[in-house]
């Protein structure tokens, strides 16, 4: 099959080219709401009932009929509590003591709050004008039976699941989890826990990618470290392709290694090797294997994390059926430190933003920005996104920042 090496391609173009090819998952399953956290709705969630289900009081006070007001103080004919409605006879010329959340007795036209009443012996007098309907929450005011409360494609979290529970819905249709196979390539890599021999380093990328996939609710198939050997690599790709919806490898796509990976991938699918016009993260591969999608991340850990975050994350969002934007909106902030840059690529420096004394956002670099310096992430809470044509930034200049989402601890 065909593959090619394109020239420098912008992040936006790469993102769009990838997304244009994908169609979202549609397989779904029905889950208890106790097991649905982090999952994505497969269909709209429709309310089986009115919320609130009955007219009820918004205040502690007295339920009244308007015709009974304006004269003497009224006797109290009974009580209505939340969970214990008033059920007796309500004689004309009397009122009902009522608590917040209690069903409003039939015929009541308003609730007078306790603070606007004074006792007079065993009667009460109201001290303020009463408007029809005041302090009554109407049945269906919040949600009407048959309303769709969530659309399809919503990730279920602490804002959504309690809403579903409040409607008495115990099970929800969710899309199946994406299966993602991952491996790192490189003769120099050792897994954590093994001693390092001369020239070896620990495998950072598989750990980082795994964490981010977990956070995105994917099912991870971890194939470990694959040596720079065509047979081992081919076997890994074949297995990954069989078992997963998406295969993510790291390493082996930079100039020195791309030809060899490319030759092998040409047998297995249709893969494009991009030189992205971003820094860090220039080499990146994307395409189709026989049954699954493939993303090849660069080997340098910062480049791998940035390309995962900026490219794979939106891809996963689309593939998994998520409707919301995968990345937080960018904002303007004033640089408070010098940011070194040469024109030519869109730069994702790691920064720490905060609110300055003038009320504006400000951002500082978190230090050395090399694509192998992973520590630049741990103190950061945002990317400083510097335009392709821009050179170094002096303190005081305005820049764009992109706050980290939960994937990077934002
Ligand atoms: P490569 O893209 O395979 O040429 O790798 C580029 C650089 O990233 C080299 O210095 C590799 O040693 C390093 N590297 C590749 N994979 C990993 C990994 N999984 N963890 C840490 N460093 C890596
Ligand atoms: Mg390598």
Residue 252 sits in the same domain as residue 316: yes
Specify the DSSP class assigned to residue 105. P
Q: Work out the average pLDDT over 377-381.
A: 92
The CATH number linked to 102 is 2.170.190.11
Domain for residue 326, yes or no?
no
**How large a percentage of the chain has pLDDT more than 90?**
90
CA–CA separation, 266 and 245 (whole Å): 19
Collect all residues with Cβ–Cβ distance below 8 Å to 284 and sequence separation of at least 6: 14, 253, 273, 274, 276, 295, 296, 297, 298, 307, 311
Ligand having the closest approach to the CA of 205: 1
For ligand 1, atom 6: residue with the closest CA: 299
The CATH number linked to 168 is 3.90.105.10
Q: Work out the average pLDDT over 121-137.
A: 97
Tell me if 44 sits within 8 A of 152, measured CB to CB. yes
How high does pLDDT run on average in the chain?
94
Q: Work out the average pLDDT over 254-260.
A: 78
Q: Report the number of distinct structural domains present in the chain.
A: 4
Would the pLDDT of 14 be above 80?
yes
Domain for residue 36, yes or no?
no
Residue 260 sits in the same domain as residue 345: no
Expressed as residue numbers, the domain containing 120 is 56-137
The binding-site residues of ligand 1, defined as CB within 6 angstroms of any ligand atom, are 184, 186, 188-189, 201, 203-206, 250-254, 256-257, 298-301
Would the pLDDT of 3 be above 50?
no
Nearest Cα neighbor of 124 from 48, 84, 71, 88 is 71
The rounded Å distance from CA 246 to ligand 1 centre is: 21
Would the pLDDT of 160 be above 60?
yes
Domain for residue 214, yes or no?
yes
Q: Band the pLDDT of 7: cuts 50, 70, 90.
A: low
What's the pLDDT at 128? Answer: 96
Q: Which atom in ligand 1 lies closest to the alpha carbon of residue 204? A: 20
Domain for residue 168, yes or no?
yes
Alpha-carbon separation of residue 78 from 56, 65, 88, 406 (angstroms): 16, 14, 8, 53
* CA 256 to centroid of chain Cα atoms: 37
Q: Which atom in ligand 1 lies closest to the alpha carbon of residue 298? A: 2
The rounded Å distance from CA 289 to ligand 1 centre is: 23
Q: Work out the average pLDDT over 348-356.
A: 97
pLDDT tens digits, one per residue of 203-239: 999 999 999 999 999 999 999 999 999 999 999 999 9
Domain for residue 198, yes or no?
yes
Would the pLDDT of 255 be above 90?
no
Q: Work out the average pLDDT over 10-19.
A: 97
Q: Give the residues across from 222 on adjacent strands.
A: 182
Q: Which atom in ligand 1 lies closest to the alpha carbon of residue 253? A: 2
Domain for residue 310, yes or no?
yes
Residue 158 sits in the same domain as residue 204: no
The rounded Å distance from CA 356 to ligand 2 centre is: 42
Q: Near ion ligand 2, which residues have CB within 5 Å?
A: 186, 251, 299
Residue 182 sits in the same domain as residue 255: yes
For ligand 1, atom 3: residue with the closest CA: 251
Ligand having the closest approach to the CA of 251: 1
What's the pLDDT at 5? Answer: 39
Residue 217 sits in the same domain as residue 246: yes
Nearest Cα neighbor of 122 from 80, 77, 159, 174 is 77
Residue-wise DSSP of 323-341: -S-SSPPPEEEEE-S-B--
Q: Which atom in ligand 1 lies closest to the alpha carbon of residue 203? A: 20
Residue 255 sits in the same domain as residue 373: no
């Amino acid at each position: 099959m065909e593959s090619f090496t394109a020239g420098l391609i912008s992040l936006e173009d790469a993102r769009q080219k990838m997304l244009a090819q994908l169609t979202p998952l549609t397989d779904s399953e029905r889950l208890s709401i106790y097991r649905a956290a982090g999952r994505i709705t497969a269909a709209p969630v429709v309310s089986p009932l009115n919320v609130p289900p009955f007219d009820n009081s918004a205040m502690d006070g007295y339920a009244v009929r308007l015709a009974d007001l304006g004269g003497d103080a009224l006797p109290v004919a009974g009580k209505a509590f939340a969970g214990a409605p008033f059920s007796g006879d309500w004689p004309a010329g009397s009122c009902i003591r009522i608590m917040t959340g209690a069903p409003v007795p039939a015929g009541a036209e308003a609730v007078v709050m306790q603070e606007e009443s004074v006792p007079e012996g065993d009667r009460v007098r109201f001290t303020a004008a009463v408007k029809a309907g005041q302090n009554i929450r109407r049945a269906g005011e919040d949600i009407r039976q048959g309303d769709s409360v969530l659309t399809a494609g919503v990730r279920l979290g602490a804002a959504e699941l309690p809403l579903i529970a409040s409607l008495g819905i115990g099970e929800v249709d969710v899309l199946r989890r994406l299966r993602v196979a991952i491996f790192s390539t490189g003769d120099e890599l050792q897994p954590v826990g093994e001693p390092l021999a001369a020239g070896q380093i620990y495998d950072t990328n598989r750990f980082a990618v795994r964490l981010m996939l977990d956070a995105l609710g994917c099912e991870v198939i971890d194939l470990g470290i694959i040596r720079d050997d065509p047979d081992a690599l081919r076997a890994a790709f074949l297995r990954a392709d069989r078992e997963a919806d998406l295969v993510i490898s790291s390493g082996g796509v930079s100039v020195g290694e791309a030809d060899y990976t490319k030759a092998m991938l040409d047998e297995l699918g249709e893969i494009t090797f991009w030189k992205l016009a971003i820094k860090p993260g220039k080499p990146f591969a994307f395409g189709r294997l026989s049954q699954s999608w493939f993303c090849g991340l660069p080997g340098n850990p910062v480049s791998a994390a940035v390309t995962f975050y900026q490219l794979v994350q939106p891809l996963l969002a689309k593939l998994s059926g998520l409707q919301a934007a995968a990345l937080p909106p960018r904002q303007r902030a004033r640089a408070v430190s010098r940011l070194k840059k040469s024109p030519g690529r869109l730069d994702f420096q790691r920064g720490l933003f905060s609110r300055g004394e003038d009320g504006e956002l400000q951002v500082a670099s978190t230090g050395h920005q090399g694509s192998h310096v992973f520590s630049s992430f741990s103190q950061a809470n945002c990317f400083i996104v510097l335009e392709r044509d821009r050179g170094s930034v002096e303190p005081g200049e305005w820049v764009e920042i992109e706050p980290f989402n939960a994937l990077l601890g934002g």
